[in-house]
Structure 1
Amino acid sequence: MNSELPLIKPNWPAPWRVQALSTTREGGVSEAPWDSLNLGAHVGDDPARVAFNRQRLVEATGIDADRIGWLDQVHGTDIVSLPLSGVPRADASFTRRPGQACVIMTADCLPVLFCDVSGTRVGAAHAGWRSLCGGVLESLVSEMTVAPSELMAWLGPAIGPTKFEVGAEVRAAFLHHDPEAALAFSVAGARPGHFMADIYTLARQRLAACGVRRVYGGGYCTVSDPQRFFSYRRDGQTGRMASLIWLSAND
């Protein structure tokens, strides 16, 4: 991969043919409020600037532009197998095809990247609280058709636990699924009737419950780091970062 773009590389023991990264907001040509490496074509940015930024991603990764599997993300739980033509409406994807990238765009929601320990398949999920609560991670693990114990996951940049204030209904929805989710919520720093949520802990709980024990990453906060990360909660109108995973086409 070309390293000219500022990129975040997962620190995990993935097989050598598994390639993965998250972009930051740095290194592109978009102007404020999308400055600068906005990869989202749906947020009001100049389409020509988005196209240029996406081409920079192609050059940085060496992946063919038509093999980057953009999704129309809707905070749901639908999963697609790539490659597919067009831009499918889904919040997670997986593939066994070398050179095909699974991609998730975020600006506070949690991107979760998956691979199996043998390096035969990869996947990516958009785990905002609605998708996470609805079971997007469990659905993707099931669709990847390998024993969960053979999977590993990496948690990319997302809103941190001291910035993610939610209403009581969000907490109740997670606790309805699993009372242990209470461990991921705190009243410290929250307004009355609200809670601070730790989306990383919630994701780890869901993954552990479905048998995925090898979980890495976490510890970022997109809201607290405006130099590196876009944040919808912080800025409202803003750009989108991308988290990608693919199998190397080279044997």
Structure 2
Amino acid sequence: MASGVRVRRVVTTRAGGVSEAPYDSFNLGDHVGDDRAAVEVNRRRLAEGIGLPLERLVWMEQIHGRNVTVVNGPRSPSDGPVPVTDALVTKEPDLALVTLTADCVPILLSDDEAGVIAAVHAGRIGARIGIVPEVVGVMINLGARPEQIGAFLGPAASGRRYEVPAAMQADVEKFLPGSATRTVNGTPGLDLRAGLRRQLLAMGVSSVAEDPRCTIEDSTLFSHRRGAPTGRFASVIWMDSSGQG
């Protein structure tokens, strides 16, 4: 990576915005029924907080799929989110990739040496059908090497709280081994982060860090399972060329 450029990551919480209940207060999702003017204010606050112009934050129209999009420059707010995708990859400095979640797993990936980063939305369906191998493959095509990639798994529904029917658990475990677990109630559960960690390490990714917070348990984060409708928090990754910090 060019001298003076470093990878930065941010995860927001519910605090610090202007949205009213049940989206209070720092909701960054514009697709959940919140007032669009409030979401716009919140997004501008996020941009200001990380020191980038709003148009250099790239958002996704997340669909619970495995589409991956390479982005090479900013999008104006009038352009809207990148359509029909659940992962963004770039080599462009000062371009912040944003994934929005409220129980799904946000994944931030980077090969700091090659200067390739990615932001991923991995819900149950996307994780099951292989969004992560698709993203890593795109990163490799852009010059990344698995052993140089570091992964960060953000706050998500934990296995101890994420109850699912037994048939669903077995189906996901078949495609994402290591994700099946038991909840605190002794019922079938899914720990998507455990399955994704195992998958990443099996692909040769060098390190996998994890924010252990459970969105269902932690009221400072949005959780669709805990109470819908609700907002979305952001996990953001970018390569900072300012040389500060």
Query: TM exceeds 0.5?
Result: yes
Residue deviations 1:145-189, cap 9 Å, x none? 2221110001111111211011223322233235x436x322651
Alignment of 1:144 with 2:136, yes or no, is no
2:160 aligned partner:
162
Give the % identical residues: 38
Determine if contact 2:23/2:230 at 8 Å carries over to the other structure. yes
Q: Which amino acid aligns with 1:76?
A: G
Size of the aligned set, in residue pairs, is: 231
C-alpha distance in structure 2 between counterparts of 1:161 and 1:187, whole Å: 6
2:236 aligned partner:
244
Determine if contact 1:67/1:83 at 8 Å carries over to the other structure. no
1:33 aligned partner:
22
1:104 aligned partner:
99
C-alpha distance in structure 1 between counterparts of 2:124 and 2:95, whole Å: 27
Alignment of 1:125 with 2:120, yes or no, is yes
Moved beyond 3 Å, runs of 4+: 83-86
1:94 aligned partner:
89
C-alpha distance in structure 2 between counterparts of 1:187 and 1:38, whole Å: 28
Greater mean deviation of Cα atoms: 203-212 or 64-73 = 203-212
C-alpha distance in structure 2 between counterparts of 1:235 and 1:171, whole Å: 22
Alignment of 1:185 with 2:191, yes or no, is no
Task: Report the alpha carbon displacement of residue 198 of structure 1 after superposing the two structures with TM.
Answer: 1.2
- Alignment partner of 1:149: what SS? helix
1:6 aligned partner:
none
Determine if contact 2:6/2:112 at 8 Å carries over to the other structure. no
Residue deviations 1:210-230, cap 9 Å, x none? 21130001311011111x101
Q: Which amino acid aligns with 1:235?
A: G
1:176 aligned partner:
174
Q: Which amino acid aligns with 1:218?
A: D
Provide TM-score, normalisation by structure 1. 0.87
Name structure 1 gaps, 5 residues minimum: 1-14
Provide TM-score, normalisation by structure 2. 0.89
Determine if contact 1:105/1:242 at 8 Å carries over to the other structure. yes
Q: What root-mean-square deviation, in Å, do the aligned CA atoms of Structure 1 and Structure 2 show?
A: 1.8
Structure 2 residue aligned with 1:51, among 21, 40, 43?
40
Determine if contact 2:68/2:86 at 8 Å carries over to the other structure. yes
Determine if contact 1:17/1:119 at 8 Å carries over to the other structure. no
